[in-house]
Amino acid sequence: MLDEKRIAPELTSKKELDELRRMVALNLKDAHVVLVSTQGRYEFAYNAARLMATAVVRASGYRVIAKTGHHYFTFQALQATDASFMKAAIYFDSARDMRNDFSYEGAVPVSDTDVDELITAVEQFQQSAELWIKARDSSLA
């Protein structure tokens, strides 16, 4: 991805990661609001996954710079960051596909089960990602 100019080396800061964490928390909070449509809740949960993936990529010393397919390359970079994130990255990339389908293709059914599974996956990923960040560089935790 470096050679293809999809990512670039760039250090992060605790301030940047804390802002990403704040946005993850806000999106997860909104994903839990049952009065919001299932598609809206799914989008909030997906955004939380993407933002947490961004935090991991940034903590690894890279930034996704792709002009097109930015979300796709975020999950590709997450896979490349650490093999332990591969399963989450694949799942979140499939969530990206579903989100794209209902955002750009029209009426695609999203169930409460889809939303609940995504929220659970994001919350589990958030916990493992935070442990990974702390182990990699405690000053970023």
pLDDT above 90 for 107:
no
pLDDT above 90 for 23:
yes
Percent of the chain past pLDDT 70, that is, above it, reads 100
In whole angstroms, how far apart are CA 137 and each of 24, 100, 140? 20, 34, 6
Mean pLDDT of the chain: 94
Span 74-85, mean pLDDT?
96
pLDDT above 90 for 35:
yes
In the chain, where the domains are located: 7-140
pLDDT above 90 for 4:
no
Indicate the pLDDT class of residue 78, thresholds 50, 70 and 90: very high
Percent of the chain past pLDDT 90, that is, above it, reads 84
Antiparallel, parallel or unpaired: β 7-9 and 62-64: antiparallel
**What is the reported pLDDT for 43?**
95
pLDDT above 90 for 90:
yes
Q: Which residue intervals of 10-85 are DSSP H helices? A: 14-31, 38-59, 70-81
pLDDT above 90 for 105:
no
In whole angstroms, how far apart are CA 112 and each of 40, 44, 46? 11, 13, 14
Could you say which of 1.10.760.10, 3.30.1950.10, 1.20.120.330, 3.90.1170.40 is the CATH number of the domain covering 7-140?
Answer: 1.20.120.330
CA–CA dist 51, 44 (Å, integer): 11
**What is the reported pLDDT for 103?**
77
Whose CA is closest to 27, among 122, 102, 137, 96? Answer: 122
